Structure 1
Amino acid sequence: MPIVDEEPVPPPPGRAARVADLALRVAGGVVVVVAAVLTVVLELLLSAVRVGGYLIGVSALIAIGANIALSWFAHETVGTRWAVVLPALPWFAIMSVAAVRTDEGDLLLAGDNWVGLAMIVTGAMTFAVMGFRQILAPPAPPR
């Protein structure tokens, strides 16, 4: 006779609970993609900020902080290790488009100054580190 009573095993979730969980995960993925688009636009807008005529590079710092937050949020809401790809893909796509000069001569992200290069490197490295951390992390306990 055991000293401690065994805890009852909860019943498996029903179909409605599984559908609701899937809907929340998809919604979280959509929110992450939209947030990534918004943050990359903000970073591009702030890449030319100057104080006293000198570039200050605030967009590189925002790229680091925003990409860490987006990667964490993607993993928490979607619940898979590959979720870091959701914010990384639109970020890289928009950065690639922003670095190409249009026929009219417009250029959003210049590669000839330190801010543009720093923003690309810090943003890419942040996503790489966050993705690598997810690969090395032990499996999460079932929810």
Structure 2
Amino acid sequence: MTSVFKIGGVLVSLVLVVLTAALELYLTPLRAGGVPIGVAVLVAAVANWLISWFATETVGRRWAVGPAWALWTVLMFIAAGTRTAEGDYLISGNDWVALVMILVGSLTFAVYVYRAILKPAPVTNQ
């Protein structure tokens, strides 16, 4: 029964990654008075940290962050290379908010994993 919860935890974290990545991409062009406000960067940091925490807590293993991190990275690569119907890229090379969002989002996963590695692994009776 516990393996069902572990698989479910990974699947839920992957669904959360897809939803939050779409939200982050949607928020990248957000501006206030014509100035980019960068709220997508904050959303990426908070969402990715919470997804990492959820994945490790439900699965009980540090590797559970890996699938979520990989999927998030693949989605960002796809978004960076995808053109809209008008011919624009979803993430352009001169959009500093999107580029910083990708950097901070990936670093959030990396920092979470690094901190998890530094903590001693919990002892489980399996």
Instruction: Report the CA distance shift for 1:103/1:58 in structure 2 as closer, same or farther (over 3 A).
Output: closer
| Structure having the higher Rg | 1
How far, CA to CA, are the matches of 2:84 and 2:41 in structure 1? Answer: 27
Q: CA RMSD in A?
A: 1.4
Q: What is the CA-CA distance between 1:106 and the residue it aligns to?
A: 3.2
User: Hey, which of these two has a bigger chunk of helix by percent?
Assistant: 2
Q: What is the CA-CA distance between 1:99 and the residue it aligns to?
A: 0.5
Q: How much identity, in percent, do the aligned residues show?
A: 44
> Which structure 1 segments of 5+ residues have no match?
1-19
Bigger CA drift: 26-35 or 133-142?
133-142
Q: Report SS of the residue matched to 1:142.
A: coil
**1:56 aligned residue (29, 33, 37):** 37
Say how many residue pairs are matched. 124
> Which structure 2 segments of 5+ residues have no match?
none
How far, CA to CA, are the matches of 2:107 and 2:10 in structure 1? Answer: 21
1:99-139 deviation digits (Å, cap 9, x = unpaired): 01438523111221220111011001101101111222101
Q: Does residue 106 in structure 1 map to residue 66 in structure 2? A: no
How far, CA to CA, are the matches of 1:117 and 1:103 in structure 2? Answer: 18
Bigger CA drift: 110-119 or 44-53?
110-119
What is the aligned partner in structure 2 of residue 94 from structure 1? 75
Q: Could you tell me the TM-score, scaled by structure 1's length?
A: 0.82
Q: Could you tell me the TM-score, scaled by structure 2's length?
A: 0.92
Counterpart residue type for residue 46 of structure 1:
L
Q: Report SS of the residue matched to 1:36.
A: helix
How far, CA to CA, are the matches of 1:31 and 1:53 in structure 2? Answer: 37
Q: What is the CA-CA distance between 1:89 and the residue it aligns to?
A: 1.1
How far, CA to CA, are the matches of 1:116 and 1:70 in structure 2? Answer: 20
Q: Does residue 117 in structure 1 map to residue 117 in structure 2? A: no
What is the aligned partner in structure 2 of residue 17 from structure 1? none
Bigger CA drift: 73-82 or 106-115?
106-115
Q: Report SS of the residue matched to 2:100.
A: helix
**1:29 aligned residue (5, 10, 34):** 10
Q: What is the CA-CA distance between 1:48 and the residue it aligns to?
A: 0.5
Counterpart residue type for residue 115 of structure 1:
V
How far, CA to CA, are the matches of 2:84 and 2:101 in structure 1? Answer: 24
1:2-26 deviation digits (Å, cap 9, x = unpaired): xxxxxxxxxxxxxxxxxx1110111
